[in-house]
Structure formats: C-alpha cells, structure tokens
Amino acid sequence: MEKINFEKVMIVMGSRSDWPTMQNATLPLTQLEVAHASAVVSAHRTPQRMVDFASRAKEAGTQVIIAGAGGSAHLPGMIAALSPLPVIAVPVESKFMTGLDSLLSIVQMPKGVAVATQAVGKSGAFNAGLMAAQILSLADAELARRLETWREQQSDQVPFEVE
C-alpha cells in the first residue's frame, strides 16, 4: 500500500477534484488544533487502496474518518463497512443534480452500517470537521475546553442589532 500518514482525523475523498470542497473540513480542525491528514482513496478507481486504508486506520491511531464523495458516492459507506471507526460523510456537489445524487447515495445506508451524513458541499465539509472535533472532545478535556471557547467566539461574532 502507498504510504498514508495517518492522523487522529483522516479526511479522504474519491478524487483530487473533491479537495476544494473537502479542504473545508480542515478549517475547524486546524482552529481547534486537532491532528488531521488527507488522502485520495477511491472506492471505484483504487478499491484495494480503500480496503487497505479502512483496514489499517484504527490500528494506525485514527479515531474518526471524514469521507467525501460525489456522484454514486460509495466511499463513505464502503469505509464504514470495513472499519469500526465513526465515519462522517460529505456529499460532494456534482454536475448532475448539483449533489442531490451524492446525498441520496450516501444517506440511504442499509441497517447495521452507520454513516453520519452532513450537508452537500462546503458547509457539510466544514461541519464534518466540527463534528469530528466534537466526537474527540468526549474523551479529551482540553479539546472540549477549546471547543467551548470556539463556540462562544462563534456566538460573539453574530451582531444583536440590524443596521
């Protein structure tokens, strides 16, 4: 298997063309100082890489996987089927149906294979990063404090009055 630098949170996607969407998952993770890395792992074009990644992630120290995919969007579900780790899915906007096809492909998981699906596109990717931090904060008091401060700052940025 090619060398993947595993981190606490792994952000994987089916194609490099998904990166403009998926890089938004890195924003809250960076702000909250959560170790993360990314890789291209395609369910269709590199199936063995996907199997190797999903099979090794937990033993390599990964605790949460964020998987983005467009079109038929099999990557999050396949990784969830192969790994015991929580998988947060991001439907990537596609040319066909502007990502509705991706959303429907991801959200209709069979009973017994759980995937936490976010919104289509950049907002969904950002929220996936935030959700990964929230999951990790359950066992990391310092991260929980950083997250609480981050949320307070988020609220403070919303003006009370409308001009």
- Known binding residues for substrate are 15, 18, 45
CA within 13 Å, CB half, 46: 17
Q: Which one-letter DSSP state was computed for residue 46? A: -
Positive or negative, the CA dihedral 32, 57, 123, 148 is: negative
Separation between Cα atoms, residue 98 and residue 76, nearest integer Å? 19
Separation between Cα atoms, residue 33 and residue 114, nearest integer Å? 27
38 SS3 class: strand
For residues 68 and 92, the answer to whether their CB atoms sit within 8 Å is yes
Positive or negative, the CA dihedral 61, 31, 23, 96 is: positive
Q: Dihedrals φ, ψ of 116, to 5°?
A: -90, 105
**Sequence ranges of the binding site:** 15, 18, 45
